[in-house]
């Protein structure tokens, strides 16, 4: 996947050249007479029989990948305590981290006496790849962080569903009609 800028006249839903197929989607106005869209490149050797279903799958998989990437590394958080207090970071929400945050959160409801505060988590890295830590002083801070992350993930999924639901498949259908 590649995000490109160009004039509206440069956009074509599907382009084929000697070695690859380019599928374009998601055109939006950028500025002036420039537009942005995504391009997916498929090697012709592996996709000799291009079908509408293959195009739909490629676009939907691309959207899913962008949603997953956004969830993984874009949850915004302002560090509350510790050396990085006040720093705005993008929290790394790997499956493992999500599981660790959930386990600590759930412990409050299943065995609250086992929770100890303050508790420290590595939540991100700065631009120089130094670890950024959050020091949760109490359950309320941990809860705000955890529930904020859950809301962020849901927001990302909803944006992806909306993007997929908003695709006009007509230009792609028309492409295959002219190829018959």
What pLDDT score was predicted for residue 7?
Answer: 87
pLDDT at 149 over 90: yes
* Alpha helices in the chain, H assignment, sequence order: 52-73, 95-110, 139-165, 170-179
pTM of the model: 0.87
Residue that finishes a domain, picked among 40, 55, 71 = 71
Residues 53 and 100 in one domain: no
The number of folded domains in the chain is 2
Q: Is residue 169 part of a domain?
A: no
Residues 8 and 37 in one domain: yes
Computed over every residue of the chain, the mean pLDDT equals: 92
Owning domain of residue 146: 74-153
State mean pLDDT over 44-50: 78
Residues 57 and 21 in one domain: yes
Q: Is residue 99 part of a domain?
A: yes
């Amino acid at each position: 996947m590649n995000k490109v800028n160009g004039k509206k006249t440069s956009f074509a839903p599907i382009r084929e050249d000697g070695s690859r197929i380019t599928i374009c989607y998601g055109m939006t106005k950028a500025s002036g007479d420039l537009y942005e869209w995504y391009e997916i490149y498929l090697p012709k050797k592996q996709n000799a029989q291009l079908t509408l279903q293959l195009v739909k799958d490629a676009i939907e998989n691309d959207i899913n990948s962008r949603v997953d990437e956004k969830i993984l590394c874009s949850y915004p958080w302002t560090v509350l305590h510790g050396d990085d207090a006040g720093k705005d970071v993008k929290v790394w929400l790997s499956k493992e981290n999500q599981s660790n945050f959930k386990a600590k959160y759930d412990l409050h409801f299943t065995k609250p006496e086992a929770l100890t505060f303050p508790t420290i988590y590595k939540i991100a890295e700065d631009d120089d790849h130094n670890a950024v830590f959050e020091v949760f002083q109490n359950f309320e801070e941990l809860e705000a962080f955890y529930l904020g992350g859950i809301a962020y993930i849901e927001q990302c999924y909803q944006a992806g569903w909306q993007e997929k639901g908003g695709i006009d498949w007509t230009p792609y259908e028309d492409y295959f009609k002219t190829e018959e």
